[in-house]
């Protein structure tokens, strides 16, 4: 629910009306800063440079966080969710892979 403000125009000068309107606009800008920007599937797909179906698949397999009010409603994301998903995608260098393989060869019964 959005907060509403009323400006009474009756018996008010033009300068007072403009001042009141400026205050209302400033309050809205401040309020809007507190709300995180909401992203939708096409926005996320654009950021990831993937298709909409790819993003839907990520949601279905729960590999990316999302918000949905109830089933069959729009899926929304916050930028934090996308950043977290991108951070989870790690690639290992060949040296790291070789080191892991070598440690397993040296001690095959240990599980790390």
Sign of the Cα torsion 6, 9, 11, 12 reads positive
Terminal-to-terminal C-alpha distance of the chain: 51
Per-residue model confidence as pLDDT tens digits over 16-51: 878 887 887 777 766 656 567 889 999 999 999 999
Confidence of residue 15 (pLDDT cuts 50, 70, 90): confident
pLDDT tens column, 86-101:
988 877 788 888 888 8
Helix, strand, coil content of the chain in percent (nearest 5): 55, 5, 40
Q: How many Å apart are CA 20 and CA 74, to the nearest integer?
A: 37
Element (H, E) at 77: strand 77-78
Q: What is the pTM of this model?
A: 0.53
Alpha carbons 82 and 96: distance in angstroms, whole number? 26
């Amino acid at each position: 629910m959005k907060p509403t403000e009323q400006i009474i125009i009756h018996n008010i000068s033009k300068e007072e009306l403009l001042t009141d309107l400026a205050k209302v606009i400033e309050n809205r800008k401040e309020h809007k800063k507190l709300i995180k920007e909401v992203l939708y599937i096409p926005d996320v797909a654009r950021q990831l440079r993937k298709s909409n179906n790819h993003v839907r698949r990520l949601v279905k397999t729960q590999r990316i966080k999302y918000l949905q009010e109830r089933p069959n409603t729009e899926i929304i994301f916050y930028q934090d969710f996308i950043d977290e998903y991108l951070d989870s995608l790690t690639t290992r260098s060949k040296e790291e892979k070789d080191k892991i393989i070598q440690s397993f060869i040296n001690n095959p019964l240990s599980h790390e």
